[in-house]
Amino acid sequence: MAKVLMKGNEAIGAAAIKAGCKYFFGYPITPQSELPEYMARELPKVGGVFLQAESEIAAINMVYGAAGAGVRVMTSSSSPGISLKQEGISYIAGAELPCVIVNIMRGGPGLGSIQPSQTDYFQATRGGGNGDYRLVVLAPANVQELVDLIIEGFDIADQYRNPVMILGDGMIGQMMEPVEFREPKRRDLPEKDWATTGTQGKRKPNIINSLYLQPEELEEHNKRLQAKYKAIMENEVKVESYNIEDADVVIAAYGTTSRIARTAISQLEEEGYKVGLIRPITLWPYPYDEFEKINPNCKGILTVEMNTGQMLDDVKIAVKGKHPVYFYGRTGGMVPTPNEIIEKVKEIYGGEK
Amino acid sequence: MAIVFKKTRGLTDVPTHYCPGCTHGIIHRLVGEALEELGVLDNAIGVAPVGCSVLAYKYFNCDMHEAAHGRAPAVATGIKRVRPDNFVFTYQGDGDLASIGTAEIVHAAHRGEKISTIFVNNAIYGMTGGQMAPTTLVGQKATTAPYGRDEAHCGKPIRMSELLATIDGAKFVERVTVTSPAHVRKAKKAIMECFKVQIEGKGFGIVEVLSTCPTNWGYTPEESLRWLEENMIPYYPLGNFKRPEEVE
Ligand SMILES: Cc1ncc(C[n+]2csc(CCOP(=O)(O)OP(=O)(O)O)c2C)c(N)n1
Ligand code: SF4
Ligand SMILES: [Mg+2]
């Protein structure tokens, strides 16, 4: 298929429809409203349903119902709205239902700002709702990858019966880039024989539920969930690395920030510095093992984020004290510049190339 | 031997966990019977609430979805919008529907969702041990209103049927009770009519059932029936508030 120029938020909608998602429940919030607007326009054309809910709480619970009924379904929001969705996300994870949730992050805490940020990393990767659960968290760095990850995200969700979150920021939602809609690699997806469809008198009732009153049963359920998360950790890690075996300094960054880091690295290379990049594409499961490949004589790892240091925790876990870990972040909707990153890298070099 | 009474196929064979004298059980039976008699049981998807009827998913003999506290109408909306040919109902308590889930029920009604709601009003939070509900009567004691509900402090109890009847999308609204065989028959009739509104695609329907909670009210089952009739009915008048003209 030929490439088309699309805005990130609209590309999400087109990719979801391409993936067979015909149902969308949402609530307006900047900087992602183009997505529900796109769905409101396009879904009726494919026999689907777009519904603007009365709140994000209702929207995610509509997703909970629709996912339980066995269809591909999506919702999207930005940070404050995603906070409201945490209740439903926890239930969806507990009841083991597939769905895709998009968070186009903005600055916080509270109402914060409408500018791009990466301040919901903890919430996304540590489980913002109650209970011991995990979301698969995918962090695209360009519109093509955004499209690819949405399409594959639906497959991942169905394969593991688990909610998948696409974690982007206002920048990726608003930028326009050429994209192509490609088929993902084929996965063996299980039948949804657990869905609420009405028994039609042919089977026992199906029950969608996250309640286990007996502690023994709930512990068993949690063990099952953990076994599933382990399989996801083993099979679904995605990461892109650049020159890490050889680098004197390695930058760790994801999403929009990784693009800025790339620009900084090119300029540093022209000046003779050897700088590598680890760009996690899955934030959960996190690509901890990738950090083992870093040049053992590397002077330090620089984590760059649009927050005050959240992925930093995972980088420290991954590095296991083998290298010094540094951090550079801008927040509040401020975006780090290549020059700021260059300065920081030179500081780590300590004057000697 | 002729069969004079048979348990409805609308309920499973599991014994319920409800307290002796609690009228949740009667209401379950009426819902089960209505589903069976209207021929929608095998096509039904029920949504259970959080409250004493949280385990309703074990009792109704159809596909069930257990929702978060108050969110049953949103979950039911999600189901009905993707499966418009299924019969979708919610079963909710007064804390669930009239407090934490007020927005969800009002907007489901407002959108005219083609779902049916059974609203069990026992003027108390039963499951959590007798705390005050938005429906608790003025003067009625609850564990979080130990001196009795004080109107100056937390207002008068909310009348959901009256409120919902003002909404265009709500096509059927009726309040009933189950304190006597006559009332039980009327309640059954209301539930059947409410369900038909969905089957005929007319819009949202709700039956509010005044129900007892002997355990948390602190009365015997029999005293509870009397207390309900003497105290709840005067404040929550029984009757139909709305029905589609054609069904009249
Ligand atoms: C979000 C959330 N808040 C509070 C609770 C605790 N809780 C469980 S049931 C309940 C009240 C239920 O009362 P009602 O809906 O009237 O049902 P009843 O038990 O009286 O039938 C509460 C507050 C919960 N489970 N979830
Ligand atoms: S606590 Fe009250 S409402 Fe709950 S089962 Fe017992 S009597 Fe019924
Ligand atoms: Mg109650």
| CA distance, residue B216 to nearest chain A CA (Å) | 21
B216 ligand 2 Cβ < 6 A: yes
Number of domains comprising chain B: 1
Q: What is the pLDDT of residue A183?
A: 84
Residue of A nearest to B9 (CA): A201
Q: What is the pLDDT of residue A184?
A: 81
B50 ligand 1 Cβ < 6 A: yes
DSSP assignments along A118-179, one per residue: -TTHHHHHHTSSSSS---EEE--SSHHHHHHHHHHHHHHHHHHT-EEEEEEEHHHHH-EEEE
B90 ligand 1 Cβ < 6 A: no
Percent of chain A with pLDDT over 70: 99
Q: Does some domain include residue B173?
A: yes
Q: What is the pLDDT of residue B5?
A: 86
Q: What is the dihedral of CA B234, B238, B240, B242, to 10 degrees?
A: 50
> What does the DSSP 8-state code read for residue B114?
S
Q: What is the pLDDT of residue B247?
A: 45
Q: Is B66 within 8 Å of A211 when comparing Cβ atoms?
A: yes
Give yes or no for residue B178 having a pLDDT over 80: yes
CA A342 vs CA A265, A274, A333, A346, B188: distances in Å: 8, 12, 20, 6, 75
| CA distance, residue B103 to nearest chain A CA (Å) | 8
The residue type of A222 is N
Q: Is B63 within 8 Å of A198 when comparing Cβ atoms?
A: yes
> CATH top-level class for A4-235?
alpha beta
Q: State the best of B47, B61, B66 to mutate against chain A, taking most chain A CBs within 10 Å.
A: B66
- Asked whether this chain's domains A4-235 and A240-349 adopt the same fold, the reply is yes
Helix (H) / strand (E) element for A250: namely: strand A249-252
Q: Whose CA is nearest to atom 12 of ligand 1?
A: B51
Q: Does some domain include residue B87?
A: yes
Q: Is B62 within 8 Å of A87 when comparing Cβ atoms?
A: no
Q: Is B74 within 8 Å of A73 when comparing Cβ atoms?
A: no
Percent of chain B with pLDDT over 70: 99
Domain with residue B197: its CATH number is: 3.40.50.970
Counting atoms of ligand 1 from 1, which one is nearest the CA of A87? 1
Partners of A211 on chain B (C-beta within 8 Å) are: 54-55, 66
Give the phi and the psi of residue A281 in degrees, each rounded to 5.
-100, -35
Among residues B178, B241, B191, the alpha carbon closest in space to that of B32 is found at B191
Q: Is B87 within 8 Å of A65 when comparing Cβ atoms?
A: no
Partners of A64 on chain B (C-beta within 8 Å) are: 65, 67-68, 71, 74-75, 78
| CA gap A313, A325 in Å, rounded | 10
Q: Does some domain include residue B6?
A: no
**Tokens in use for B10?**
């609308």
> How many residue pairs bridge chain A and chain B with CB atoms within 8 Å of each other?
132
Nearest by CB to B68, from A61, A63, A207: name it: A61
**Tokens in use for A127?**
């489980």
Give yes or no for residue B1 having a pLDDT over 90: no
Query: What's the B119 CA to ligand 1 centre distance in angstroms?
Result: 14
Q: Which domain holds residue B155?
A: 24-247
Percent of chain B with pLDDT over 90: 96
Prediction pTM value: 0.97
Counting atoms of ligand 2 from 1, which one is nearest the CA of B214? 7
| Coil, strand or helix at A307 | coil
- Give per-10-residue mean pLDDT for chain A (353 aa): 91 97 97 96 98 98 98 98 98 98 96 94 95 98 97 98 96 95 90 98 98 98 98 98 97 97 98 97 98 97 98 98 98 96 96 68
pLDDT tens track for B45-87 = 999 999 999 999 999 999 999 999 999 999 999 999 999 999 9
| CA gap A172, A256 in Å, rounded | 7
Q: Whose CA is nearest to atom 7 of ligand 2?
A: B213
Q: Does some domain include residue B184?
A: yes
Average pLDDT, chain B: 97
Q: Average pLDDT, stretch B181-191?
A: 98
Q: What is the dihedral of CA A253, A257, A262, A264, to 10 degrees?
A: -110
Q: Does some domain include residue B2?
A: no
The residue type of A226 is Q
Partners of B75 on chain A (C-beta within 8 Å) are: 61-62, 64-65, 68
Q: Does some domain include residue B222?
A: yes
Partners of A205 on chain B (C-beta within 8 Å) are: 12, 60-64
Predicted-complex ipTM score: 0.96
Contacts by A342-347, CB closer than 8 A, 24 or more apart? A342/A264, A342/A267, A342/A268, A344/A302, A344/A304, A345/A249, A345/A251, A345/A264, A345/A268, A345/A273, A345/A275, A345/A302, A346/A273
CB B55 within 8 A of CB B48: yes
Q: Does some domain include residue B65?
A: yes
pLDDT tens track for B122-148 = 999 999 999 999 999 999 999 999 999
Task: Please state the domain extents for chain A.
Answer: 4-235, 240-349
Q: Whose CA is nearest to atom 4 of ligand 1?
A: B69
Q: What is the pLDDT of residue A1?
A: 64
Sign of torsion over alpha carbons A320, A325, A329, A335 = negative
Domain A240-349 has CATH 3.90.1200.10: no
- Chain A residues with a Cβ under 8 Å from any Cβ in chain B: 23, 25, 49, 51, 53-55, 57-59, 61-69, 71, 73, 87-88, 91, 95, 196-201, 205-211
Q: Whose CA is nearest to atom 8 of ligand 2?
A: B22
| CA gap A206, A202 in Å, rounded | 11
- Chain B residues with a Cβ under 8 Å from any Cβ in chain A: 12, 42-45, 47, 54-55, 57-58, 60-68, 71, 74-79, 81-83, 86-87, 103-104, 106-107
| CA distance, residue A1 to nearest chain B CA (Å) | 30
| CA gap B69, B92 in Å, rounded | 9
Among residues B46, B55, B53, the alpha carbon closest in space to that of B24 is found at B53
Give the phi and the psi of residue A169 in degrees, each rounded to 5.
-130, 170
Q: How close are the terminal C-alpha atoms of chain A, in Å?
A: 46
Q: State the best of B13, B35, B79 to mutate against chain A, taking most chain A CBs within 10 Å.
A: B79
